[in-house]
Amino acid sequence: MIDLKIGGQLFIVTGASSGFGNAVARLLLDNGAGVIAVARREDKLRELAAGHPESVETVCGNVTDDDTLAAVLKQLGDRELSGIFINAGGPPAMSFEETGMEHWDEAYKLILRWKVQLVKSLLPRFQKKQYGRILFSESSTVKQPIENLVLSNSLRMAVAGAAKTLALEVASEGITVNLIGPGYHNTSAVDRLFRKKSELEGISFEEARKQTISGIPLGKIGDPDDFAT
């Protein structure tokens, strides 16, 4: 394992109960870092903490709720923070015509609003320290739209725009802002896409998965642990 040289440093990881967030949290912990893990599933947070009881602090709640974000800041207290991995689930798989305005409102809250709110709350800490690592986990849709993912295609581009702008604004203060757009990995978000494909085309879930994999140059779907490393 590569030594990331982050022993003793503190990070926040959202969506830490499964998928990319869980994989990143475990990698940080394996490298000696402390993690404030945020997620909705208390049982999964307990599992994560059981493996590193002295290094994991948990906040159970929905990141789109103001109370959850307040709880994260309370848990952090006045301690120094080295970085944050900003990650959460995505909106439902839908075509443009299938959406109602309520879907767009919810997608804004899920994909963009809370991320802006949390970063704005933490930014002064990074500026005071003259150091910080902010990493957004979004989707390959920031580069190329995916069919039946109009909500994700649209709102994740907004996150990309915000991240690029912020990166320019704070680079001179020792703060880096990056966004990663992973393709197909074994996550619940990709499973939702396969289910949508199977419904629209009248095929099985496994056939939808097989057809998608056939178009991936690597010939397989990635694993969240590969993503984390």
Contact (Cβ atoms closer than 8 angstroms) between residue 72 and residue 16: no
Contact (Cβ atoms closer than 8 angstroms) between residue 6 and residue 33: yes
Question: What are the tokens at 226?
Answer: 């590969």
pLDDT tens-digit readout, 144-180: 898 899 999 999 999 999 999 999 999 999 999 999 9
Contact (Cβ atoms closer than 8 angstroms) between residue 32 and residue 82: no
Residue ranges with strand state E in 41-144: 56-60, 83-86, 132-137
Confidence class for position 203, pLDDT limits 50, 70, 90:
confident
Residue with tokens 């140059």: 217
- Greater pLDDT, 224 or 168: 168
Instruction: Residue 131: name the closest of 173, 167, 169 by CA.
Output: 173
What's the CA gap between 213 and 182, in Å, rounded?
Answer: 15
Listed in sequence order, the residues at least 6 apart from 153 whose beta carbon sits closer than 8 Å to its beta carbon are: 141, 145, 146
Listed in sequence order, the residues at least 6 apart from 13 whose beta carbon sits closer than 8 Å to its beta carbon are: 21, 24, 25, 28, 35, 36, 37, 38, 84, 85, 87
- Greater pLDDT, 140 or 64: 64
What's the CA gap between 66 and 73, in Å, rounded?
Answer: 11
pLDDT tens-digit readout, 41-97: 999 999 999 999 999 999 999 999 999 999 999 999 999 999 999 999 889 999 999
What average pLDDT does the segment 205-221 reach? Answer: 80
pTM comes to 0.86
Q: Which domains does the chain have, with CATH numbers?
A: 10-185 (3.40.50.720), 186-229 (no CATH)
Question: What are the tokens at 76?
Answer: 């952090």
What's the CA gap between 179 and 177, in Å, rounded?
Answer: 7
Residue ranges with strand state E in 40-77: 56-60
Cα dihedral 131/19/163/3 (nearest 10): 30
Expressed in angstroms, the distance from the first to the final Cα of the chain is 9
Q: Could you tell me how far CA 182 lies from the centroid of its own chain?
A: 10
**Of how many residues is the chain composed?**
229
